[in-house]
A and B are shown apart, each in its own frame.
Chain A
Amino acid sequence: MQTIKTEINENIDTTGTKKPVYQTKQLNLWYGTNHALKNIDLDIMENEVTAIIGPSGCGKSTYIKTLNRMIELIPSVKTSGDIMYRERNIFDKNYRVEELRTKVGMVFQKPNPFPKSIYDNIAYGPRTHGIKNKKVLDEIVEKSLRGAAIWEEVKDRLNSNAYGLSGGQQQRICIARCLAIEPDVILMDEPTSALDPISTLKVEELVQELKTDYSIIIVTHNMQQAARISDRTAFFLNGEVIEFDKTDKIFSTPSDKRTEDYISGRFG
């Protein structure tokens, strides 16, 4: 099993200036007795969009939530193996989870703004990390909202409740909120699955723009979306990585029969 996995990673061109942000080594994860992730080996490159695809229950959401250790909020979870983030093991006892999550932001499946004003939503992260200066906060809020391409839509109502926005706008507020902590990596767990096609398109365009400054890992149900926006794609099935390669390659000439079956819609 291990030799196959090593081969998968060797297929990827790691030459050039890009460095890996995440190196996953022999990651296993259990929910109680349910073995949800099996011997995962994945290297995720900086300033790229990495898509994770696979049918429901394949472990793709579990994996992305392991990258910022949100998975540990579920009490029955046990892990083995290592995940190196910028060459530091995130499971290390001395690695405080709050520190990791300051560098690794997350956007969730369902837009989840706080029941606060737009301004307070964006300022939440910076305030959490001790920034109180109003001028600095103002700058962060504007920069983040511009970064999430929603500044023009909300600049005149920063003090109104974020719940008054549409679902698509709420999701971009959540992306802006994530940008406000100035992360290194952005994890996106099916960020468009609750959105209409137009909002989805906006979020996809945004992801393309963001990858110059951030490394993005996106879980998606939508294979066309993965093909459109990602540089590399990992195909998960039953808790294993079946294939991980450049997105062009995965969608044109996949090397595994199961990948081919999945992307051609024969199952899943």
Chain B
Amino acid sequence: MKHINQDNVLKKMSSRLAVNQIFRALFFLATLFGLVVLAVLLYRVFTQGIGYLDLQFLQSVGSRFPEKAGIYAALIGSLWLMAVVVVVSFILAVGTAIYLEEYAKQNKVNNFIKVNISNLAGVPSVVFGLLGLTIFARMFALGQSVLAAGLTMSLLILPVIIVAAQEAIRAVPKDLRDASYAMGATKWQTIIRVVLPAAIPGILTGSILAFSRAIGETAPLVVLGVPTILLFTPASIMDTFTALPMQIYDWTRRPQAAFHDVASAGIIILLLLLLFMNSVAVFIRNKFQNRF
């Protein structure tokens, strides 16, 4: 006796296939939604901003007149900020990840730390801004300097890089570590000569994505009180500065419509910078993929 009636199977076949098509269409629409919104945004930004985008825009500082206003101070400020963020967050995060994955023993304290690092990644950036304001700006009296903002931004992206670095380190096959230990290498020799070279592509990809986040982040800078408009660029990390998102924010809230177009030009610069950084991340990932 058969349990499956072939006639019934055939009868239901077309409705099953129809359901499949419906879901396929739904998921396609979901994909389309984000893309369409992005396309509309890009179209608006480019049509508005392209007129202001010239060499003069790149070389000038802020101005009361839209046609004279430029991005120079903010761009240089952002680069200064990134210099601090890259150095501080990369060293601290990779150090933490190496400690947690390679040196730390599996015990309750270390597991607690690991879980909470992941939790930190979910804390809103405004909270990190307040933390920076309290500790770096006020307690250490760093004010609105590049250093204060850089340290705050580093705190913000640290958890993201730590988690990415931990995963990259964990993905290095145990075989390779064993081979190194079996030849009498110390833990540090094994880390620096086997684990890190194999893990560095993953670590870099995660880090660059985190840096991109830091470059576009506004809330912590607002909380810190970083000026929105500045007529000079910092000469050292102790100087005050302004950054791309702050400058854009300032332009968009001005009453004159022309400044909104200037803001669009600023957004284009910011997007180009982000696009460049993401391309570097993709390039690194592809170049080092399938190495083991």
Contact = CB atoms under 8 A, between A and B. Distances in A.
Interface stretch (B122-130, B181-189, B207-215, B279-287): B181-189
Nearest to B292: A115
Contacts of B235: none
A73 B291 contact: no
A219 B183 CA distance: 19
A73 B179 CA distance: 12
B66 to A, nearest CB: 55
Interface centre among B173, B179, B292 (most CB of A within 10 A): B179
Contact of B182 (A70, A113, A114, A163): A70
A178 B175 CA distance: 14
A101 B182 contact: yes
B20 interface: no
A98 B183 CA distance: 8
A184 to B, nearest CB: 12
A174 interface: yes
Interface stretch (A102-110, A228-236, A251-259): A102-110
Interface string A176-203: 0110010000000000000000000000
B180 A99 contact: no
Interface SS, B side:
helix
A85 to B, nearest CB: 14
B184 A102 contact: yes
B178 A112 contact: yes
Contacts of B176: 112, 114-115
Contact of B179 (A68, A98, A163, A177): A177
Nearest to A103: B184
B184 A99 contact: yes
Interface stretch (A5-13, A49-57, A121-129): A121-129
B161 interface: no
A124 to B, nearest CB: 7
B290 to A, nearest CB: 9
A122 to B, nearest CB: 11
Size category of the A interface is 20 to 34
Given A75-B106, A115-B198, A163-B292, A98 B182 contact: no
Given A75-B105, A112-B175, A105 B185 contact: no
A124 B178 contact: no
Contacts of A124: 180, 183, 185, 193
A101 B175 contact: no
Given A112-B175, A124-B193, A163-B292, A106 B182 contact: yes
Given A75-B105, A114-B194, A115-B198, A174 B179 contact: yes
A116 B197 CA distance: 10
Nearest to B187: A98
B183 A114 contact: no
A128 B183 contact: yes
Interface string A135-165: 0000000000000000000000000000100
B170 to A, nearest CB: 15
Interface string B206-249: 00000000000000000000000000000000000000000000
Contacts of B197: 115-116
Given A75-B106, A110-B175, A112-B175, A68 B182 contact: yes
A113 B179 CA distance: 8
A108 B181 contact: no
Contacts of B182: 68, 70, 101, 105-106, 108, 178
A128 B189 contact: yes
Given A105-B183, A114-B194, A73 B178 contact: yes
Interface in A67-104: 68, 70, 73, 75, 98-102
Contacts of A106: 182
A125 B178 contact: no
Interface of A: 68, 70, 73, 75, 98-102, 105-106, 108, 110, 112-116, 124-125, 128-129, 163, 174, 177-178, 181
10 contacts: A102-B184, A105-B183, A108-B179, A112-B175, A112-B176, A112-B178, A112-B179, A115-B197, A124-B180, A177-B183
Which 4 pairs, one residue from A and one from B, show the smallest C-beta to C-beta distance? A112-B175, A102-B184, A101-B184, A106-B182
